[in-house]
Structure 1
């Protein structure tokens, strides 16, 4: 099997290239820029393109499949050559489906919690010594890569609602056709792609229709929007399994979970994580796991990278980092920390970094998201606005949108560090939320210093 990747340097694209190489396929690729860690990963396996750039000569009649990355544009010369030759061209999810036609496909969809829920399923299956393939959007302890494609009978996929490629504008998760599907919840996001909430909502209706006959939809019944959507789209040929927050207790900052009479102390916390692991349980049960083995496995799950990740701590101060940026994610993350440590001062910092979060018209979606924080700041750099070619975002619009009394809005990384340094961190939790890097501010060093863990 000969496969060529157009835009092989992408974070997920290069992982698929590595997986197919390990499977024994002949893999080639090209890109106009390749950064770490993709550069080293590809180089190590002998897959790094000899020359940077697009080269139509790479496209030959003998290629069985061309996989097109999101980075490639419509006028890409290699794409044009592939079309001229009539080669089979796939987006990333379309190709994943081709590789998993004979597998039981598990797909985790929803506006939030996808990566964590997918990671929980993977962690539990690995602990049970089950053979499976996977596709997940973050690094997970114990897994060398984020994509694995072998001859395993099951594949577990994180199902993204973002467009599949430059020539296939439909969402990625419309191409995976699950036997076991999860929907974690629905909250409007990606407004550059889905300019109205109704249009965004429609993508999840379509996803439900893509479930294979005889399959099952596992859905979060505590999400009012999702529950209404499921009720309006009932299918007679699939099963439905609602889930909610499972029984648990919190004592001294530790959560003890109970499922079907089996108990275990968790490494993660918060209602959003409890919801995620409950959904993961129903998937694992479908795949033949019992409650005792599941609870034992999930008790050792420490989380996906940058999802309530512990950066530093001492007896008086805890610093967490989280990928949260969408309103529902910010709200859930803040509430989780406050619920787990109710007697500590919660200092929350959110960086607005995505197109949606930097859009003035989207600010009202953040109403109440940071209310549970005792002290809160929102940071966004003018540089980020310039890169996205977006207009100025007035601080007063941000303050009005969040509706949080005393909210600090900061645009300069030095001012952000100064704001952080002025607080007392005795008996406190510092929560840093961003999908960016605070315009290069050295947050990690600050976290180590404030907890006395600097090297």
Structure 2
């Protein structure tokens, strides 16, 4: 009889992908959620896992369950979670569960404030290109992969010998505030860079950095720590006294840009055309090569695979191009990501005037100390625009005073345009068609607030 697993908050991006992966392994899956959006809803329905009605139902929790997997969307007082605790059932966050399913595998964890999804995707793309057998977990959908997670833990067929995991520093579950990446106990860990993020969970820079120090300190004997040597904080972490682990620093991969096309320069002076660009992505490539080298993929094999890597959705994703004009979207919101994306587009197209639009999110600007991190991040844009929803801001800050002037002051950029009305922003953009040739829109929700395809057409 199949082992039964119940998902509390099955509608989440990660949660529903994990549910689908376990169903494919032969587990009996049930789940609940109070809200389920697309594409989760259609995918769950396709495989018969969509709950018949939304809400929480303690009756679904019983002693016959092998495990409960709880998502971050649930609260501590969730009635299903409360009953699971009363019955003393095994309760896991999804990182805990992934670890439980991969204890017999070599675990490779890609962490960092920025670049972790792209580096993970590069490694997965390369392994698949060379027909290797592997399991994985990644935070976003990527080209060529049907799900964001694959676990071959033994119910059906042979288990993969390795698992590549994107390691998030955010809290694990409503009842476990530890960073997700601490659960994986990696044999190989890469930290791509440290730049203050998740300010609603880590209100100080020191608290945020502590999480990555804990990851490095938790490396097992004979483990491998790969890190960006150009990141000051990572250099400190990498040089800490751990003689029992191997430390591998990396820097940006040598490259050149010709007419808007980026080429990698190999040690043999070969030029390898790639579809991604920007100094941050050259660092990502170097990190991915270092990881691949440790798991049996040579540099030549990496260079063979990387030209067909299209990047990750919403990471410098090209929306449109016509004549001399080009339009990109990036989900960047934190200061380091905003600066990296803006600099990348300007460096790729130095002769084009760049218009950059940034949508700020309230939970990323909860205190003035963090807000100061945005200084200079839009300097490479010829025209810079910020937008935020004042209603969301007021709700998130719960009375803490901040206003439009605070945002403008934080960026410290002359002629910065600021909007709190999406209609006024759209009207302003409609007048910019002759003002720039390169356009960069940043923010994860800006896709919903603006019809980017229509905006791209008008620009």
Q: TM-score, normalised by structure 1?
A: 0.96
Alpha carbons of 1:419 and 1:196: their partners in 2 closer, same or farther (altered >3 Å)? same
Instruction: Measure the CA separation in 1 of the matches of 2:398 and 2:330.
Output: 25
* Residue in structure 2 matched with residue 100 of structure 1 by the alignment: 102
Which of 402, 409, 417 is 2:426 aligned to? 417
Which of 378, 385, 396 is 1:388 aligned to? 396
1:300 corresponds to 2:308:
yes
* Residue in structure 1 matched with residue 219 of structure 2 by the alignment: 211
1:158 corresponds to 2:160:
no
Instruction: Measure the CA separation in 2 of the matches of 1:79 and 1:326.
Output: 32
- The 8 Å contact of residues 316 and 427 in structure 1, kept in 2 or not, is answered as no
Deviation, 1:395, is 1.8
- The 8 Å contact of residues 3 and 66 in structure 1, kept in 2 or not, is answered as yes
1:255 corresponds to 2:262:
yes
Instruction: Measure the CA separation in 1 of the matches of 2:11 and 2:62.
Output: 21
Which of 27, 31, 34 is 1:32 aligned to? 34
* Residue in structure 2 matched with residue 268 of structure 1 by the alignment: 276
Cα distance per residue 1:286-316 (max 9 Å; x no partner):
1111111101211111110000000001111
Instruction: Measure the CA separation in 2 of the matches of 1:246 and 1:354.
Output: 35
Which of 183, 187, 210 is 1:175 aligned to? 183
- The 8 Å contact of residues 355 and 436 in structure 2, kept in 1 or not, is answered as no
RMSD: 1.5
Which of 125, 130, 133 is 1:131 aligned to? 133
Instruction: Measure the CA separation in 2 of the matches of 1:359 and 1:148.
Output: 38
Instruction: Measure the CA separation in 2 of the matches of 1:113 and 1:54.
Output: 36
Which of 230, 233, 240 is 2:238 aligned to? 230
Which of 59, 62, 82 is 1:60 aligned to? 62
Secondary structure, counterpart of 2:370 in structure 1: helix
Alpha carbons of 1:383 and 1:438: their partners in 2 closer, same or farther (altered >3 Å)? farther
- The 8 Å contact of residues 199 and 365 in structure 2, kept in 1 or not, is answered as no
* Residue in structure 2 matched with residue 74 of structure 1 by the alignment: 76
- The 8 Å contact of residues 312 and 320 in structure 1, kept in 2 or not, is answered as yes
1:202 corresponds to 2:204:
no
Residue correspondence of structure 1 range 275-290 to structure 2 within 5 A: 275-290=283-298
1:430 corresponds to 2:439:
yes
Instruction: Measure the CA separation in 2 of the matches of 1:207 and 1:116.
Output: 20
1:367 corresponds to 2:375:
yes
Unpaired runs of at least 5, structure 1: 451-455
- The 8 Å contact of residues 360 and 398 in structure 1, kept in 2 or not, is answered as no
- The 8 Å contact of residues 58 and 83 in structure 2, kept in 1 or not, is answered as yes
Alpha carbons of 1:62 and 1:80: their partners in 2 closer, same or farther (altered >3 Å)? same
Instruction: Measure the CA separation in 1 of the matches of 2:454 and 2:433.
Output: 17
Moved more, 218-227 or 251-260: 251-260
* Residue in structure 2 matched with residue 309 of structure 1 by the alignment: 317
Cα distance per residue 1:366-393 (max 9 Å; x no partner):
0110001111001101232245354563
Secondary structure, counterpart of 1:383 in structure 2: helix
Moved more, 373-382 or 352-361: 352-361
Instruction: Measure the CA separation in 1 of the matches of 2:87 and 2:207.
Output: 36
Alpha carbons of 1:301 and 1:439: their partners in 2 closer, same or farther (altered >3 Å)? closer
Instruction: Measure the CA separation in 2 of the matches of 1:367 and 1:449.
Output: 30
Which of 132, 141, 144 is 2:143 aligned to? 141
| Number of residue pairs matched by the alignment | 449
1:335 corresponds to 2:343:
yes
Unpaired runs of at least 5, structure 2: 153-158
Which of 344, 352, 358 is 2:352 aligned to? 344
